[in-house]
Amino acid sequence: MEETCHVCGKPLDEICAVNCVVCGGKVHFNPAGSPGNDCCGVVTQIGACGLSFVCNDCDEKIKSRER
């Protein structure tokens, strides 16, 4: 069975799929200059080495709580 993006529902490929650090859902992430969907943002976490990803749905929920 083909995996689909948690945000947009379109098929995922292994190269451009990452997991959201908040909900764990798999979403599209395209590096700069690559064509395609980008259904998440890149964030840094205090105490973590490297980058993490937050899907657009979780990002909206976080931003709405901050208002």
For the chain, the domain total comes to: 1
Structural domain contains residue 53: yes
Structural domain contains residue 3: no
CA distance 34 to 31: 6
- Residue 40: count of CB within 10 angstroms of its CB: 28
Q: What is the pLDDT of residues 18-67, one digit of tens each?
A: 999 999 999 999 877 677 778 999 888 777 778 899 999 999 998 898 77
Structural domain contains residue 6: no
Strand partners of residue 40: 55
Structural domain contains residue 52: yes
Structural domain contains residue 5: no
Q: Is the whole model's pTM more than 0.85, yes or no?
A: no
* Cα angle, residue 17 at apex, residues 30 and 56 outer, rounded to 5°: 70
Q: Give 14's DSSP letter.
A: S
Residue 10 structure tokens: 């379109």
Structural domain contains residue 40: yes
* Domain boundaries, position 56: 17-66
Structural domain contains residue 26: yes
Structural domain contains residue 36: yes
